[in-house]
Amino acid sequence: MNELSQSIEINSSPDEVFRTITDLPAMGRLSPENTGGEWLNGAQGPAVGVKFKGTNANGAKSWTTTVTIVEFASPRAFAFEVKVGPAKVARWAYAVEATPTGSRVTESWTDRRNALSKWIGAKSSGVEHRDDFAVQSIQTTLENLKKSLEQAQ
């Protein structure tokens, strides 16, 4: 298992940050790969155990994932796990801490795939080196989150 994380300071309240990172349809404007999502099974928003369908694209490739929220503590923690059937793929997590000027946001990604899953994932997503891509993806997502929230003020 490999885990990566990065943090950023944002001049916005933890409540505002948390509302933004848990807004599935809006995530597409922040992430370089995720294009949005929708709640499943009648859910209207996030809670532990709730599932959502995430939509993703990379170049000409696109795919969906079914995701389960495993941690939800507004406005501090939001985490979800991606599986394909019984196979664990990844865990994504956001931690939000209040600071004197707003919030510190940490995004983490834990790769939970075995070698075969990594090979299949590379073929279906077009991303050969997911670790390298995740570093850039997290950085871009956090920078876009900061820009979006700070420009809205």
SS3 78: strand
Average pLDDT over residues 63-85: 93
Q: Is 44 exposed, middle or buried (0-12, 13-18, 19+ CB in 10 A)?
A: exposed
Question: Which residue, 6, 34, 20, 8, is CA-closest to 152?
Answer: 20
Domains in the chain: boundaries: 2-151
Q: What is the pLDDT of residues 80-117, one digit of tens each?
A: 998 887 888 889 999 999 999 999 999 999 988 765 56
Query: Tokens in use for 123?
Result: 């073929």
Q: How large is the average pLDDT for residues 36-60?
A: 92
CATH code for the domain defined by 2-151: 3.30.530.20
Main-chain phi, psi angles of 142, to 5 degrees: -65, -40
Q: Mean pLDDT for the chain?
A: 88
Lowest mean pLDDT among 32-41, 78-87, 119-128: 119-128
SS3 76: coil
